[in-house]
Amino acid sequence: MKGLPVGYAVLGALLSGPAHGYELKRRLNSGLGPIWHIAQSQLYSVLARLEREGLVEGHLEPQGARPPRRVFSLTQAGESAFWDWATSPVRHVRDVRIELFAKLYFLRRHAPDRVPELLSAQAERLTRLKDRLSQRKALPTDDPALARLTLDFRRTLLSTLLSWLEEAKLQLLKEVQDA
């Protein structure tokens, strides 16, 4: 499955059990609401795509006098795709703010023992990126000052993210020890 992590978040929300669209929206909002927003129409579009790809199955559930509602559940392929995504570090620095936090949210609920592994893998990926940037003298642009500023910004951002990852690991380990 390609694209934004919304599809993976829907798969993660279905780990708690089958649900109809409004219930999925509620699950996503209650956990990821402060991090991102998914419109109801986008959710149904994502569900249709996931169903076409064989990652979820939908069936109609009667509601008495009301029209039946469509309830979705994970397939084996959907669960496998979710775990592959959730346990892999994000590829780009820009994806940390949304995608890494979504992964942490679901791992903390469904596989908390895998959180340190994800954070370590993420730190390794960012360290490799930082090492590559450290070898560069400039970026390809006709504005040398802007090139230096941009390179300094990227290096500083990576250093900050690496420090944050270490702090996050320590905080989460302390939380487990205190429990």
pLDDT in the model for residue 175:
83
Burial of 49 (0-12, 13-18, 19+ CB in 10 A): middle
In what order do the strands lie in the sheet containing 56-63? Answer: 19-20, 66-74, 56-63
Question: Rounded to the nearest 5°, which phi and psi values hold at 39?
Answer: -75, 150
Q: What is the value of pTM for the model shown? A: 0.88
**Mean pLDDT per 10-residue section of the chain, whose length is 179 residues:** 79 96 94 86 94 96 89 98 97 90 95 94 95 84 88 92 94 80
Neighbour tally for 151: CB within 10 Å: 16
Positive or negative: CA dihedral 177, 103, 72, 79? negative
Distance CA 20, CA 12 (A): 14
Neighbour tally for 119: CB within 10 Å: 22
Distance CA 112, CA 71 (A): 27
DSSP sequence for 5-46? THHHHHHHHHTT--EEHHHHHHHHHHHHTTT----HHHHHHH
β-pair type (56-63, 19-20): unpaired
